[in-house]
Structure 1
Amino acid sequence: MRGPQRPGPPADGNLPPELTAFIGRSAELAALAEAMEAARLVTVTGVGGVGKSRLATRAAAGPAARDEVWGVELAPVRDPHFVEYAVVEALGLTDHTTRLPRETLLDRLAGRPVLLLLDGFEHLVEACAGLVAELLRRLPELRVLAVGRRPLGLACERLFPLAPLGEDEAVELFADRARQQGLSVGDCPAVRELCARLEGIPLAVELAAGRLRALSPAQLLQRLDDRFRLLTGGGRDALPRHQTLRTAIGWSHELCTPAERLLWARLSVFAQTFDLEAAEYVCSGDGLAAEDVLDVLAELVAQSVLSREETATGPRYRMLDTVRAYGADWLEAAGDAARLRRRHRDWYLGLATWCELDWFSPRQGEVAARVEAELPNLRAALEFCLTEPDEAHLGQYLAGSLWFCWAGCGRLSEGRRWLERSVELESGYERSRLKALWVLGYVAVLQGDTVPALTALRECREQAERAADRAAVAYAEHRTGCLALVTDDMARAETLLRSALDRYQELGELNSNVLMGQVELAMARAFQGDLADAVRLCEDVRRVCEDHGERWARSYALYVLAYAAWREGDPVGARDLLADCLENAHAFHDLLGSVLSIELLALVTASLGDPAEAAVLQGAAGRLWPSVGLPLFGSVHYNAPHELCESMSRQALGDERYEECVREGAGLDREAAVARALGCGVRPLPGLPAPREPMPRSRGGAGKREPAASPTRKGGETAG
């Protein structure tokens, strides 16, 4: 359930460490399941650390769950405007259009029985309440399970306040955590008294048990007893549970060494998860050497302050929100918060710079997976840049450098919001703003939003010429040519794209953007009837891509080659090329590349004598197009294969059978549509994150160091 980058709560075998043990709670679990059956909105409330997320995760995975269960972790979200984006992303509803994310949710969830698990919304109550109210009102099949420290305040809300563990359950949890460390503690008075002092709050009990390697239960009780008296004056009966938890965390904090306390505070700048190398860079210095961070971090894991989890990109570490908030308070009190946030920003600025360069390399798949894992931290860095004085130019640079994430990995809507925010700011750094402008224009082109695209690209071109920024001129000209291509102005598209490619050659630019320009020129040539030139251009792109290990631009070259193969009477060759193209586009979550491939595959399938399957594929593509924008850009040229396929299939099947097959295809979700088009299951490609899927109904090493980089052009895709 940790997401937005992971959309659904995982099955039990994949739970993060802090959710693996589920001691007791059987009665609460049954009661929550009953509440979920009786009400469409149930909110689990309680003090931090009481086990709300654990209980909700189990309930969502249990028999009360419907066919689709999706979890959204909202704790890392700071801007209320991004709540809806987080939900759209968590549900895997890739949408390239200019629609508001709420419209996407309403459209794509209509008629689907979905249980939406919203965790950690308490700092975003107003935004969440408004969204949930409208979704429930307009989506009768939707249910919501919310988790927070306070209610949403909606009339239809059924509250489920979660109390701490009972005495026996707390003792059992303490003993279980001891066993995990290879220790054994009996059911002795000291353990019972300790759990009673901690009032059965699971997180507090686990923090105490994390100290058993160094202290006996009696010693733990003595130290905790001293702290309670210090903070509360000995009034045990009057201890509010929030104070109890804070006391327990503070007590655990006091038992840490100075180095452990220092690292705890500094780690609070990370959003969600982080890796060792990021921690070593961001948190080292001024009392903590980089080479000591690993050992100190390992101690924090041993003490349950941090948890370690294995991911597709290697080991990552997570700090619970309550523990992070405590560390953040200490960081603020030390007057070091601003400096650490800047170091955090520097690391992720450097990461984005290296990922942009590595996108044009055999590590392209690894880059996609890495950026997927780091999105919460990249968002935090963007937010810092765009809200702090004198940082706007770095925000513009960062938003522009992530073009491959927005355009290549299916995040156009989010990217456009960051880019629009960044270019609205006066930064005083022309190059950074120009880069953000051409990327904004590019994103708008892909969304089919012509006027904003042209506005951004024209401004970029004019300002770049005044500033003598030749790279920005080339990129602006290139994307203006792309706009002409999708609006059927082939002559203008060819002129602009050839000019941009000449400029790239003069500059020595060679990257995925340059290759896409050559593919787009090939499309313009193909649509004008010169298939030989189109094939020549795309074979050259394919060769360069294979030399450099590039897969994203290569998939678009394969699309053009497949179109040419079909036009030249080789549907079998076209089908093989399109299968390769679709596998890659889908693996990168590139919805435009996927739907274009499916559309052309439908025509190829009809040409191979299977009009019924062709109609099914057209129906599947028809379901995907609303998330891309206007079907086939509204372009006569892009639409011609669709029209021909429909004509062939209708003639062979008759109108009634054709429409029946289209409806069958329209019932396929994106994953099923791709699998159907490929004629088999979807194979994840090496280095890429797996496709996003709903939570199963089950019950049951770090990469190379990325140094922080300054936003100066180092060649390749950092230009502009």
Structure 2
Amino acid sequence: MRGPQRPDPFSAGDPPLELTAFVGRRPELAGLTDLLGGARLVTVTGVGGVGKSRLAARLAAGWTDGSGRVELAPVRDAQFVEYAVAEALGLTDHTARPPREALLERLAGRPVLLVLDGFEHLLDACAELTAELLRKLPRLRVLAVGRRPLGLAGERLFPLAPLAEDEAVELFTDRARAQGLEVSDGPEVRELCRRLEGIPLALELAAGRLRALSPAQLLQRLDDRFRLLATSGWEGAPRPVPGGPPSRHRTLRTAIGWSHELCTPAERLLWARLSVFAQTFDLEAAEYVCSGDGLPAEDVLDVLSELVAQSVVTREETPAGPRYRMLDTVRAYGAEWLEGIGDAGRLRRRHRDWYLGLATWCELDWFSPRQGEVAARVEAELPNLRAALEFCLTEPEEAHLGQYLAGSLWFCWVGCGRLAEGRRWLARSVELESGYEQSRLKALWVLGYVAILQGDTVPALAALRECREQAERFADPAAVAYAEHRTGCLALVTDDLARAETLLRSALDRYQEIGELNSNVLMGQVELAMARAFQGDLPDAVRLCEDVRRVCEDHGERWARSYALYVLAYAARLEGAPDRARELLTDCLANAHAFHDLLGSVLSMELLALVTAAQGEPAEAALLQGAAGRMWPSVGLPLFGSAYFNAPHDQCEAIARQALGDARYEECAAEGARLDRATAVDRALGRGPVRPLGALPTPRGPMPHGGGAANRTESTEPATDPARGSRAT
């Protein structure tokens, strides 16, 4: 199974995943497109449920220059706004620099449309980020979606009105047909649409009731509720404001409340409890989190199905399987009820417990044939995992669980390309005094590991030293082994090979003593093999990595296996078997790219470039070097300045420059630097044209002298390792 696929940030948007027809809005789409043609910041405003998000998604899907849509509703911490934007644009960055720097670098000169949806609760952070992006990226356009403006200079507003009567009737009857019901556009339907003021969400909720009530009955019940609210003033609806359209707020509120009243007690209870989920959730999570106290677990599916039928919840297919979603307005209504009945704290703890268990299961299953499934599952559950982390790190007495959760997700931070986000959660967690040293030790060694991979050696060494000292103090042998292992990894990437070998051998012995076997242990063996290979002992390096490959294949492990293949390819090339080296490297690169592992991808691409040059294709080798050079800034210090890890690059450049001459080498490398990561990987794997550069002359030029597009000022990272595995240290 492949890892989860992330959006390509610079291609035209895919059509939105619309489970129902997109009705009307042609004039609005045309007007919004025209407005964006002349303004770089446009904000679509309007009441909740009026269709702002769907209109923006439809427009972005047709934006030919490429777009990215950021759903900000699940983001609770303003510091994570930048991460959300980077993720939505598919920008994987492993370095320790702020995500904003990576955004500015990667978006420079590109005519991208950025959609910021649901920013109201993060107004200041979103406004500040948007202002800087627009100021420094002259070809960027931003389409904001919210109930209020961002308040920036140059912002153009696009107030979105409800549907016109005919479009409202069309929407209502279309949703009826989707349920197998035929409803005419008679007077009752038209009056109902008028009473609901053409608000799409209100119409969807009303249509969801047609299996039980006729349009005339729906209209009667809606009128009764309007009269009730007019006399009671209940529900906290906003009061009329002169010159504004406040009735629409009350209309939507009324429609949601009315739909809520038509629910059975079990449906109301589940509605309220589902509000604890961030973004989407699956059935198993709903059954665990929401069951009990009046709602048996075996009834959750039936009740959830009724909420889907009533359009309170939507069901969608994802790479991780079927998932469910509540619109933010509907979720907010449920959250109010949950608070009102005094059950919010208990449900948030149950939510936390489920995702703590999920992270533990995923950590164990990372070392199994289900590694790809784990990657896809974690990708889908990130909003909920973040919510659980936020809960743990802000609630008294929960810090140790936050430390454990942040540490247990090492495979997500490291194996699935989320180093920067992981480091933020880990650093935040270890600052807290939890009283549970074992959990903090785990977070510490994972923090050190992540910092190594980012090329940030001083904080890495500090975290690992503290972990080692505290682990010995508290007699935690697993934490000692992991701290020693990661310190050995740090020695490896800084070319202290003798120390690296000593530490890695000691850590592997400790793992064996405590019975630890997982992806981390195997990566320790791969790193030891690298140290041996760099010291000239290729037979020992091959022996170690063949053993790793055998264990990985026995357990279905793909991630650590890809690094073993890298070392085997390194040895095969030195032993004069370039075809074998190429076969191993293409396997390595395909797996690393599937898991969004930038380090594994760029290391294998660098070595593949050298093999390509040695096989008589210097122009293609230079192109691959240029592509790798574009990737390195997102990884960290290229190869950490390591002479050993840099050797394939330097050798390849020497061969290619001598064969092509400096000018032609630079031309080919520049061509490679223009390729995005997915295209570059396809090219390296032989899935693209062999030579789109045309017929390439091979003049003899002077020996290489450094410099050039592919001569990076930074070095490269080590063929690195993961952290943790099967137990909570």
Amino acid at match of 2:627: A
Kept in 1, the 8 Å contact 2:360–2:408? The answer is: yes
Residue 137 (structure 2) pairs with residue 135 (structure 1): no
Alignment of 1:465-614 (within 5 A): 465-614=472-621
Kept in 2, the 8 Å contact 1:16–1:309? The answer is: no
Alignment of 1:231-310 (within 5 A): 231-233=229-231, 240-310=247-317
Provide the rounded CA distance (Å) in 1 between the counterparts of 2:211 and 2:205: 12
2:681 pairs, out of 644, 669, 674, with 674
Number of the residue aligned with 1:150: 148
Q: What's the offset of the Cα at 1:21?
A: 2.2
Kept in 2, the 8 Å contact 1:457–1:479? The answer is: yes
Number of the residue aligned with 2:359: 352
Number of the residue aligned with 2:728: 719
Number of the residue aligned with 1:388: 395
Q: What's the offset of the Cα at 1:314?
A: 1.1
Q: What's the offset of the Cα at 1:38?
A: 1.0
Matched residue of 2:100: which SS? helix
When residues 7 and 419 of structure 1 are mapped into structure 2, their CA distance, relative to the original with a 3 A threshold, is farther
Amino acid at match of 1:671: A
Matched residue of 2:212: which SS? coil
Number of the residue aligned with 1:49: 49
- Which region of structure 1 is more displaced relative to structure 2, 232-241 or 25-34? 232-241
Provide the rounded CA distance (Å) in 2 between the counterparts of 1:166 and 1:259: 35
Q: What's the offset of the Cα at 1:232?
A: 2.0
Q: What's the offset of the Cα at 1:14?
A: 5.4
Provide the rounded CA distance (Å) in 1 between the counterparts of 2:425 and 2:232: 51
Matched residue of 1:34: which SS? helix
Kept in 1, the 8 Å contact 2:12–2:64? The answer is: no
Number of the residue aligned with 2:33: 33
Kept in 2, the 8 Å contact 1:7–1:90? The answer is: no
When residues 149 and 447 of structure 1 are mapped into structure 2, their CA distance, relative to the original with a 3 A threshold, is same
Residue 107 (structure 2) pairs with residue 100 (structure 1): no
Provide the rounded CA distance (Å) in 1 between the counterparts of 2:127 and 2:688: 39
Q: What is the aligned-residue identity percentage?
A: 82
When residues 457 and 80 of structure 1 are mapped into structure 2, their CA distance, relative to the original with a 3 A threshold, is same
How far does the alpha carbon of each residue in 1:373-426 deviate from its partner, in whole angstroms, 9 at most, with x for none?
A: 110100000000000000000000000000000010000000000000100000
1:15 pairs, out of 14, 17, 21, with 17
Unaligned runs of 5+ in 1: 683-714
- Higher relative contact order at CA 8 Å, sep ≥6: structure 1 or structure 2? 1
Kept in 1, the 8 Å contact 2:272–2:335? The answer is: yes
Q: What's the offset of the Cα at 1:163?
A: 0.6
Q: What's the offset of the Cα at 1:193?
A: 1.4
2:379 pairs, out of 372, 380, 391, with 372
How far does the alpha carbon of each residue in 1:353-372 deviate from its partner, in whole angstroms, 9 at most, with x for none?
A: 00000000011110001101
When residues 226 and 177 of structure 1 are mapped into structure 2, their CA distance, relative to the original with a 3 A threshold, is same
- How many correspondences in the alignment? 682
Provide the rounded CA distance (Å) in 1 between the counterparts of 2:468 and 2:338: 44
Number of the residue aligned with 2:183: 185
Number of the residue aligned with 2:71: 73
Matched residue of 2:110: which SS? coil
Number of the residue aligned with 1:640: 647
Q: What's the offset of the Cα at 1:56?
A: 1.1
How far does the alpha carbon of each residue in 1:96-122 deviate from its partner, in whole angstroms, 9 at most, with x for none?
A: 101100000000111111111111111
How far does the alpha carbon of each residue in 1:425-474 deviate from its partner, in whole angstroms, 9 at most, with x for none?
A: 00000000000000000000000100000000000000000000000000
Kept in 2, the 8 Å contact 1:435–1:719? The answer is: yes
Provide the rounded CA distance (Å) in 2 between the counterparts of 1:361 and 1:669: 31
When residues 12 and 529 of structure 1 are mapped into structure 2, their CA distance, relative to the original with a 3 A threshold, is closer
Provide the rounded CA distance (Å) in 2 between the counterparts of 1:390 and 1:183: 53
How far does the alpha carbon of each residue in 1:559-598 deviate from its partner, in whole angstroms, 9 at most, with x for none?
A: 0000000011111110000000000000000000000000
Amino acid at match of 1:719: A
Provide the rounded CA distance (Å) in 2 between the counterparts of 1:4 and 1:240: 43
Provide the rounded CA distance (Å) in 2 between the counterparts of 1:157 and 1:368: 39
Number of the residue aligned with 2:704: none
Kept in 1, the 8 Å contact 2:16–2:57? The answer is: no
Kept in 2, the 8 Å contact 1:97–1:413? The answer is: yes
Instruction: Give TM-score, length-normalised by structure 2.
Output: 0.92
Residue 674 (structure 2) pairs with residue 661 (structure 1): no
Q: What's the offset of the Cα at 1:125?
A: 1.0
Amino acid at match of 1:153: G
Q: What's the offset of the Cα at 1:66?
A: 3.5
Provide the rounded CA distance (Å) in 2 between the counterparts of 1:718 and 1:73: 34
Kept in 2, the 8 Å contact 1:4–1:87? The answer is: no
Provide the rounded CA distance (Å) in 2 between the counterparts of 1:301 and 1:240: 27
Kept in 2, the 8 Å contact 1:29–1:55? The answer is: yes
Instruction: Give TM-score, length-normalised by structure 1.
Output: 0.93
Kept in 2, the 8 Å contact 1:4–1:89? The answer is: no
Kept in 1, the 8 Å contact 2:93–2:102? The answer is: yes
Kept in 2, the 8 Å contact 1:625–1:631? The answer is: yes
Q: What's the offset of the Cα at 1:13?
A: 6.1
Provide the rounded CA distance (Å) in 1 between the counterparts of 2:12 and 2:316: 13
Amino acid at match of 1:303: Q
Matched residue of 1:717: which SS? coil
Number of the residue aligned with 1:630: 637
Number of the residue aligned with 1:202: 200
Provide the rounded CA distance (Å) in 2 between the counterparts of 1:123 and 1:51: 19
Q: CA RMSD in A?
A: 1.8
Amino acid at match of 2:370: R
Provide the rounded CA distance (Å) in 2 between the counterparts of 1:280 and 1:189: 42
